[in-house]
A and B are shown apart, each in its own frame.
Chain A
Amino acid sequence: MLEILGYSFMQKALLTGVVIAIACSLLGVFLVLRRYSLIGDGLAHISFGGIALGLLFGVAPVLFALAFAALSAIAILKIKEKARIQGDTAIGIVSHAALGLGIFIISIARGFNVDMLSYLFGSILAISTLEVITSVLLAGAVVALIMIFYHDLTFVAFDEDSAKASGIDAGFLNTLLIVLTAVTIVSAMKVTGLLLASSLIVLPAASSLQVAKSFRKALFFSALIAIVSVVAGLALAYHFDFAASGTIVLLNFVFFCILFAVRSFLRR
């Protein structure tokens, strides 16, 4: 088992996977509780458009996707506010436009379908050193910002009106939350791929909420579940030659089922 730690590619995969797992799972608790679970999917679609644009212009696709997703996240908030439509509709408008843009670019540019596949399905075991550094820095920044704004984010998630009345800038925190989600999705796409990127946001948080009684414990359990699923998923993928991203997501689903069953049993 420990022999896999001797491989450089596995060390990179574990480091990247664990840091991203922590960022996704912490952010996920806030998003799930605010009923923004599907924003991760929307931002993944948006990142797809960003990646396609980056490949088209020959610019670093990850950085292009990052800027594109962050700006689109802010656009979602503005559309929701100015057009007076529901948040999920605003997400749908922007994400489908970006997805359409991505598909359009692929159809006219041709030739980078193979590159797109690695972003769509993830390739954590083939991650480069530059990608490790980029992902770890991005995810590390997300975790640091969550820690800095932890108390205010919690207050806004629990009771936005009272938080505003206490002088907390809820508008800023909402923008921060959605931009951090965009950054996290982009940093996670090499681990799980864009198609499953939001799974690391939704599943560990949803599992944790089955058993956690306090907010601090919810964050702790969510991070723990995400880390265990990434480490175990990578080990299983290596030994049995499974797809790493799919294995990680399925393990997360198994954890959810177990904790859901435990909660149901305890409630009897």
Chain B
Amino acid sequence: MAKHKRSAAKEQSKLQEDAESGLRVDDGGTGGVGEASGGSIVSVENLSFSYGSGLVLDDVTFSISRDDFVGLIGPNGSGKSTLVKLLMGLNKPDSGRISLFGKDIGSFNDWGKIAYVPQKASQVDPLFPITVREVVEMGLLSKKRFPKILISEDKFKVDKALKIVGMEGFSGRRIGELSGGQQQRVFIARAVVSSPQLLVLDEPTVGVDQATQVKFYELLGNLNRAGIAIILISHDIGMITRFVTKVAVLSGKLVFYGTHKQFCSSDQVLGVLAKHHHLLDLGCNYEKHKR
């Protein structure tokens, strides 16, 4: 048992080392050129969006810096996924402004800096004939111009990304044969293989058991320390607030945006969330787990 624990700790330490050394974000020596003033890589100002006559997002304003790990939480239908779709350019806002890496989203075209991990584990078609390696390769090939060919350096990057998420032994396996947690690790590998500076995850652990979720969020923490800013959507407040550096609470409007400590001391926010969620575990008793 002790041996197993030591082995697990060693593996975790190696994982963190790999993440921090292997995927350290390369800003091309620019020292953050392209970032808005104050070092923010995402800036949202007075953003509103509606589906038909139903207002989903109302006057939302916030910014994210490159070392942030933001947990975006809120009740069902609070506009979390809509906000992410707007940030990824999949929807257009009714009003307001979104800037990515200092550029208005309308003229932003450097999508290689941003990687997206969808709420996918429960939606993967088990019969889709695609290997783990092919899925990760997509992350590189989608950023390439024609002709889209993988060179030997790319193959090395794919190997490295798989190693970082601990899936190097599954390269030739069909993704539909893997568990939900393993599939999400593969999607993380696909996201980080192109060395993004911002990673956006939309409820990535739906259908994944709690032990796997903890490992998954620890992996995200490692990636954040390696220099990747992270936006993580979740409705599992108690779980993610143990790992994130900032908390954003959305309920149509942005109800709260600040550090985890501020979040836990805001009686008003806790009251709103407890009322909506009927959840009492808001992760505020887990300060000791935070880095």
Whether the pair A151, B138 counts as a contact (CB closer than 8 A) is yes
Q: Provided the pairs A213-B129, A214-B134 are in contact, do residues A151 and B141 lie with their beta carbons within 8 angstroms?
A: yes
Instruction: Determine which residue in A165, A167, A168, A215 has the highest number of CB atoms from chain B within 10 A of its CB, and name it.
Output: A165
Closest to B191 in A: A162
CA distance A212 to B114 in the complex (A): 32
CA distance A206 to B6 in the complex (A): 48
Whether the pair B142, A151 counts as a contact (CB closer than 8 A) is yes
Contacts of A168 in B (CB 8 A): 142
The 8 Å CB contact of B129, one of A148, A150, A152, A212, is A212
Closest to A152 in B: B142
A 7-39 contacts with B by CB, 8 A: 33
Is B211 in the interface zone, CB < 8 Å from A? Answer: no
- Stretch of B23-31, B36-44, B120-128 lying at the A interface: B120-128
Contacts of B187 in A (CB 8 A): 162
In angstroms, how far is the closest chain B Cβ from the Cβ of A28? Answer: 13
CA distance A68 to B109 in the complex (A): 36
Whether the pair A213, B174 counts as a contact (CB closer than 8 A) is yes
Whether the pair A151, B111 counts as a contact (CB closer than 8 A) is no
Closest to B117 in A: A162
Is B3 in the interface zone, CB < 8 Å from A? Answer: no
In angstroms, how far is the closest chain A Cβ from the Cβ of B154? Answer: 12
Instruction: Determine which residue in A154, A164, A167, A168 has the highest number of CB atoms from chain B within 10 A of its CB, and name it.
Output: A167
B 103-119 contacts with A by CB, 8 A: 109, 111-112, 114-118
Whether the pair B130, A215 counts as a contact (CB closer than 8 A) is yes
Contacts of A148 in B (CB 8 A): 146
The 8 Å CB contact of B90, one of A155, A165, A215, is A165
The 8 Å CB contact of B131, one of A150, A151, A164, A213, is A213
Contacts of B120 in A (CB 8 A): 159, 162
Closest to A157 in B: B128
Contacts of A213 in B (CB 8 A): 129, 131, 172, 174
CA distance A11 to B266 in the complex (A): 80
Q: Chain A 116-159 against B: per-residue CB contact (8 Å), 1 yes, 0 no?
A: 00000000000000000000000000000000101110110011
Whether the pair B148, A167 counts as a contact (CB closer than 8 A) is no
Classify the secondary structure of A's interface with B: helix
CA distance A148 to B109 in the complex (A): 22
Contacts of B275 in A (CB 8 A): none
Whether the pair B134, A166 counts as a contact (CB closer than 8 A) is no
In angstroms, how far is the closest chain A Cβ from the Cβ of B104? Answer: 16
Is A218 in the interface zone, CB < 8 Å from B? Answer: yes
Q: Provided the pairs A33-B125, A161-B90, A209-B129 are in contact, do residues A167 and B118 lie with their beta carbons within 8 angstroms?
A: no
Is B88 in the interface zone, CB < 8 Å from A? Answer: yes
Give the total of B residues in contact with A, Cβ under 8 Å: 32
Contacts of A195 in B (CB 8 A): none
Q: Provided the pairs A161-B118, A165-B90, A165-B116 are in contact, do residues A155 and B142 lie with their beta carbons within 8 angstroms?
A: yes
CA distance A57 to B33 in the complex (A): 63
Q: Provided the pairs A148-B146, A163-B142 are in contact, do residues A33 and B116 lie with their beta carbons within 8 angstroms?
A: no
In angstroms, how far is the closest chain B Cβ from the Cβ of A86? Answer: 18
Q: Chain A 31-70 against B: per-residue CB contact (8 Å), 1 yes, 0 no?
A: 0010000000000000000000000000000000000000
The 8 Å CB contact of A164, one of B90, B129, B174, is B90
Instruction: Determine which residue in B127, B129, B200 has the highest number of CB atoms from chain A within 10 A of its CB, and name it.
Output: B129
Whether the pair B111, A165 counts as a contact (CB closer than 8 A) is yes
Is A78 in the interface zone, CB < 8 Å from B? Answer: no
Contacts of A166 in B (CB 8 A): 111, 115-116, 139, 142-143
CA distance A111 to B200 in the complex (A): 63
CA distance A158 to B123 in the complex (A): 10
Instruction: Determine which residue in A154, A159, A214 has the highest number of CB atoms from chain B within 10 A of its CB, and name it.
Output: A159
Q: Provided the pairs A164-B90, A165-B111, A167-B109 are in contact, do residues A158 and B130 lie with their beta carbons within 8 angstroms?
A: yes
In angstroms, how far is the closest chain A Cβ from the Cβ of B18? Answer: 24
Contacts of B142 in A (CB 8 A): 151-152, 155, 163, 166-168
CA distance A164 to B143 in the complex (A): 11
Is B135 in the interface zone, CB < 8 Å from A? Answer: yes
Contacts of B111 in A (CB 8 A): 165-167
Whether the pair B128, A33 counts as a contact (CB closer than 8 A) is yes
Contacts of A33 in B (CB 8 A): 125, 128
Whether the pair A151, B129 counts as a contact (CB closer than 8 A) is no
Whether the pair A217, B90 counts as a contact (CB closer than 8 A) is no
Interface residues of A (CB under 8 A from B): 33, 148, 150-152, 154-155, 158-159, 161-168, 208-209, 212-218
Instruction: Please list the 5 inter-chain residue pairs (A to B) with the smallest Cβ-Cβ separation, ordered nearest first.
Output: A167-B111, A165-B116, A166-B142, A218-B129, A212-B129
Interface residues of B (CB under 8 A from A): 88-90, 109, 111-112, 114-118, 120, 125, 127-131, 134-135, 138-139, 141-143, 146, 148, 172, 174, 187, 190, 200
- Can you list 12 A-B pairs, Cβ within 8 angstroms, ordered by A? A33-B125, A151-B142, A152-B141, A154-B130, A154-B134, A159-B120, A162-B120, A165-B116, A165-B118, A168-B142, A213-B174, A214-B131
